[in-house]
Structure formats: structure tokens, C-alpha cells
Structure 1
Amino acid sequence: MVTDQPWIVRGRRQGVIDVAVTPESAGWRYSGLRVVSLAAGAEFMTELPGMEGLVLPLAGGATVRVETATDGGAATTFELTGRRDVFSAITDFAYLPSGSRVTLTAPEGGRIAVATARTDAVLPARYGAASLVAVEVRGAGAMTRQVNAYCMPGVFDAARLLVVEVLTPEGNWSSYPPHKHDETTSDECELEEIYYFEVARDGPAYHRVYRSRPDRIIDVCAEVRTGDVVLVPYGYHGPSMAAPGYDLYYLNVMAGPGERAWRVSFDPAHRWVMDTWQQIAPDPRVPLVPAVGSGSSSRVPDPPASGRSRRENG
């Protein structure tokens, strides 16, 4: 991988690894992500010392073999159906306990994400059906996007880890208005965030991050393509911009030191934009992919006329 700014990591394959972000490489404490591309029948083994994880197929299916010390080295195996690609369907997934050894196999080849969060808490290994994923339509007009909540409070239990994916149709903006979660208050929970991008037709997209206070310097306004990562240690982030002709996908991985919750504050300069959603219809192209089975699909209610925080993102 190549880094052209401190907070941008360009995807470059090294063996089977497309992306490797650890707390150490990011310069923070909790959030991590690996993306691997496997040929048919190939295996990838990794260990998670002091880290919980979530296996999320991006393309193709996967066999996940999990060994944990708490089970005396006994292995649990999950067969993940997966999906053709991130623009075609919602996928099933698997939760990995802290301290486990994991072997991933792609029977027909594929690309697999492993999102991680540092924790000493040990929860059981579990399978997550695609029907468990909560699907939400957020925003209105050219700000409409789809949020698929995989590992979120009230959806799927974890110690620290939060995982969602966002689908933005070509020409729309998401992660907008810009928001932040870089301090612990009644309005926010401190979270480190990873954005992993894929863009349809190998096209471009764009992402913005900027400072929320003078002593925290960050300034990102960058073109991103499939495999690229933007790290958000602090600051306002958004919009994520899908260029005309190119649908946009990103995977968000978050973790922090405190409560496992998703509370954000919006940039006061742009907070008013949310008030216009009450007069604008949502983009009829969204959701881009439907909820599966009993998975919920809903539109987030219109925001109140005032207030600076909200329990959402994307």
C-alpha cells in the first residue's frame, strides 16, 4: 500500500492483502481493517490478539474457521454465501472473538473484509444472516443514500466494534451534512473511523475531512477509487461524493474508548441543510439493493428544526 497523505491509504496488493490498517499503522488505538483477495480455494490465516472482528464478504463467498482459546482450541466453521459484489446484494457475515485464530477460504475466489476493534472482552463467535442487517434510506433529493447496519447497537452485539456500509447512487452526496464524533459528550461518542471505498466501473469518487477545532489539524479533499481508504481520527467528515455515472460504496469501521454508541455532531455551518429534507422527496433509486428476508428497511425520519446532534451517520 502507498500513502500519499497521512490520512489516505491507497490500496496496493501485497500478496493476497489489498488493505491493511492497524491501530499502529493508523496512529490511533482501536479501529482496524484488512481486505484480502483470494483465488478459488486459497486460504488466508490471521490472528486477533486483543481484537474482535467481523468478516464481511465484498465479492464471492467465504468459509470462516474460527479457533478460540476459551474453547480449548476447538474450531467453529461458518459458511458465508456472500454476494457477487457490493452493488448487487447485502451479505451474511461472521463475528470473530477477541484472541481468536481465523482461517478464511474462498471456495470460488473472492474479496473479503475483516473489520477489527481492540478489546479484551471475549464474546462468542457467531453467524450473522443477511436478514439481520438493518437497511435505512437517509437524506433526500441528491443527498439520499442507503445505509446497511451490520454491527451496530440494537442490531448485532459486539464489545467495541461498529460496522456499516453505505451505498450512494451516481451523482449523489452522502456523509452529508459534515459531522464529527471526536469527543465524549452528551451529544457525541468518541470514535476512530475507517472509510474503505469501492466505485462502480472503476470510476472516481471524492471525500472530504477537515478540522473541528484549531489544535486538531486535518485537511483531506481527495479523489478515491476502489481499494482506497481514508482515516478519520477526528474532525468533520463529509461529503462523500459519487461522480455522475459511478455509484459509490464505502465500508465504515468504527471503535472508541467509551460507550458503544453512534452519536454525532453536525457542522453548524451546514446543519440547516437537514431541515430542507422535509420538503424534498427521497431519490427513488434508493435503496440500491433491497433488504433480505426479515431485514428492516426504513427511511430515517426528517430531522428536527433545531439541535446539533443525532444518532446516525453515513
Structure 2
Amino acid sequence: MSADHTHTVPPESRSHLPAGSARSGPYALRIDPARAGWAHAALRVLELPPGGTHSLDTGDCEWIVLPLSGGCTVHAEGEFFELRGREGVFGGATDFAYLPRDSHAQIASGAGGRFALAGAKCERRLPARYGPAPEVPVELRGSGGCSRQVNNFAAAGVFDCDRLIAVEVITPGGNWSSYPPHKHDEHVPGVESELEEIYYFEIDRGGTGFHQVSPSRPGGTELLVEVGGGDAVLVPDGWHGPSIAAPGRDMYYLNVMAGPGPREWLIRDHPDHGWIRDTWPDQPMDPRLPLRPGSRSDAPRHPRPAEEQG
């Protein structure tokens, strides 16, 4: 694929980007708004070799540097942030750094690693900041076969951004997440947000899982796809979910969202499937969660439907 990120993805491949299909320069994955064919959400996965460095001009986007594996340093706006990172995405929440629009940053890694750059076109220019791993709220969501873990590092109301909303979801092998199917493709005050969304997947021990998007309007997004590590799915509209982890293969995905309206996370459940929430209080949480010792689970286990995601 061309490194010219002004080119848009062909319509037939716009929704599912298999690993390597959106590689560009140092990025194993590069999804900018123009390439996605929408207006706000962006995601890049930066690969750095030992001793590697990368210069980033943020342009008209705000960005969060989120270690996927390994640690790095981030120098921006006269600030120096040391991100300890983690061994991998199944190793618990990580620290991160926020970069404002219209700035320049230098990212360096002594040991090398992989780093997600979650971004969104924005208007306000907020200060560069450090997000400590111990302050990331870790939420256990759903129950039974719908149990999953959510690392709410940049959820609305948790960490201040202008447009960007981003969380990590860990689904134990055999479970369903992003379930019931839900949507956020129109602005209905107090009911639903209009948010573009990117799913970036990694699967434990090289396995695969499945992800579905079904139309919420005539001609809308429709997709049922096998996903593996490094794959991305773009959700401009539609009922998205479930994301299904194969037995014995834990699933990770990073959700990056942004839209034109207020920075809110409001969703509507698919009318044929929303009833599943009523069964959750009568089922135990999957005992495998939290997946790694030391994660914080102090957020509500059964949030109101309008707050549900992932």
C-alpha cells in the first residue's frame, strides 16, 4: 500500500484491514481520517527497533502514545515522559503520554517495542501530560460468557481530551464482548453519540477470533470477519458486535473513537439483543478476570446501558 496517507481505502476493503495491509513507513498500521474515509478518528502502530527513535508532528490531531509492548521515552512541549510500558497487551494496564495538536514529539525506545498512537482531529490545544498506569480504572463488564475487562485509560470522564476516546478490552478465550450489538452513529442528545470507531486486535498465542458489524441503515456497514493479531476494523456506522474470542485464545482490542459532537460515550443496544443485559446480575463474573493480578477493578461491574461499550 502506498505510504501516501491522503489516499483513501478502496470501498471493498474499507471495513477490514488485515495485518500488514495498511503498513506505511515505520508504522505497522496507519489509519488517518483521510485514509479511513471519515473525519476524526486515527490510529497508528509504531514499531521501533532497539535504540530506535521517531519524530512525530501532531498536526491537527491530539494523540496518546500507548505502549503495546516495551517502553519508551516521549519528549514534547518541553516535557520528558518515561513510559515503563509492559511486556505485552495481556500484561495489565500501561502508562501513556498525551500529545496536543500543533506540536512536535520525539519517541525513543532503548530496548525497542510497539506503540499505539491513538488520535483524533480536534480543536482545543490541551497540555502534554503523563498518564500513570496505577491510575487507569480497570472495569469488569458483563458476566458469564459475556465477561470482559476494560482498561479505561482515555474514556470520557476519565482522562481529559478534546475529541479522543480510547479504551482497551480484554476478552477471555471463549467469551463474547462488544455484546449486545450496539451503535453510536447518530447524535441524539442524552441517548446516543455520533462516533467513528477503530478496533485494533491482538490475539493471545497467535490465534484468531471473529468480529461482526451489521447495518443500522440502508446501505450501511456490514461485516463478519475472522480477525487476527494486527488486524483493524473500521466502524463508521452500524450495530457492532459481537467480538468473539476462540476457546483458549484471549482477545485484546484497542478501541479508538472520535466524532463531531460532545465528548460523550452514549450507545443504543440492538433491539433484538439488548435483553441479554437483564441476565447478567444472575450470573457470576468469569473467574479468570481480572486476567492479570494487580489490575484495578473498582469501576461498576454492570454500568447503565448508555455507558456500555466494548
Range of TM-score over shorter length: over 0.9
Q: CA deviation at 1:249?
A: 0.2
Q: Which residue of 2 aligns with 1:122?
A: 125
Q: CA deviation at 1:220?
A: 0.7
Correspondence for 2:157 among 154, 158, 180: 154
Q: Which residue of 2 aligns with 1:131?
A: 134
Q: How far apart, CA to CA, are the structure 1 residues paired with 2:236 and 2:179? A: 18
SS state of the match for residue 273, structure 1? helix
- Normalised to the residue count of structure 1, the TM-score between the two structures is 0.91
Q: CA deviation at 1:85?
A: 0.2
RMSD in angstroms over aligned alpha carbons?
1.6
Correspondence for 1:199 among 199, 203, 216: 203
Identical pairs, percent: 49
Residues 1:18 and 2:28 are matched in the alignment: yes
The answer (yes or no) to whether the contact 2:221–2:236 under 8 Å persists in 1 is no
Q: CA deviation at 1:291?
A: 5.0
The answer (yes or no) to whether the contact 2:99–2:129 under 8 Å persists in 1 is yes
Residues 1:175 and 2:185 are matched in the alignment: no
Amino acid at match of 1:251: L
Q: Which residue of 1 aligns with 2:224?
A: 221
Deviates more, 1:282-291 or 1:264-273: 282-291
Q: Which runs of 5+ in 1 are unaligned?
A: 68-74, 304-308
Q: How far apart, CA to CA, are the structure 1 residues paired with 2:203 and 2:269? A: 26
Q: How far apart, CA to CA, are the structure 1 residues paired with 2:145 and 2:255? A: 21
SS state of the match for residue 278, structure 1? helix
Q: Which residue of 2 aligns with 1:300?
A: 301
- Normalised to the residue count of structure 2, the TM-score between the two structures is 0.92
Q: How far apart, CA to CA, are the structure 2 residues paired with 1:300 and 1:227? A: 29
Q: How far apart, CA to CA, are the structure 2 residues paired with 1:121 and 1:29? A: 16
Amino acid at match of 1:200: D
Q: CA deviation at 1:301?
A: 2.6
> CA offsets per residue over residues 168-211 of structure 1, 9 Å max, x none?
00000000000000011131010000000000111101100011
The answer (yes or no) to whether the contact 1:117–1:160 under 8 Å persists in 2 is yes
Q: State how many pairs are aligned.
A: 299
Residues 1:9 and 2:17 are matched in the alignment: yes
Q: Which residue of 2 aligns with 1:72?
A: none
SS state of the match for residue 277, structure 1? helix
Q: How far apart, CA to CA, are the structure 2 residues paired with 1:178 and 1:291? A: 30
Q: How far apart, CA to CA, are the structure 2 residues paired with 1:285 and 1:298? A: 17
Residues 1:190 and 2:198 are matched in the alignment: no
The answer (yes or no) to whether the contact 1:133–1:296 under 8 Å persists in 2 is no
Task: For 1:84-95, list aligned pairs within 5 A.
Answer: 84-95=87-98
Q: How far apart, CA to CA, are the structure 1 residues paired with 2:254 and 2:179? A: 16
Residues 1:141 and 2:144 are matched in the alignment: yes
SS state of the match for residue 113, structure 1? strand
Q: Which residue of 1 aligns with 2:306?
A: 310
The answer (yes or no) to whether the contact 2:142–2:302 under 8 Å persists in 1 is no
Q: How far apart, CA to CA, are the structure 2 residues paired with 1:114 and 1:297? A: 27
Q: Which residue of 2 aligns with 1:71?
A: none
Q: 1:280 to 1:302 in 2, by over 3 A?
A: farther
Amino acid at match of 1:205: G
Q: CA deviation at 1:88?
A: 1.1
Q: Which residue of 2 aligns with 1:306?
A: none
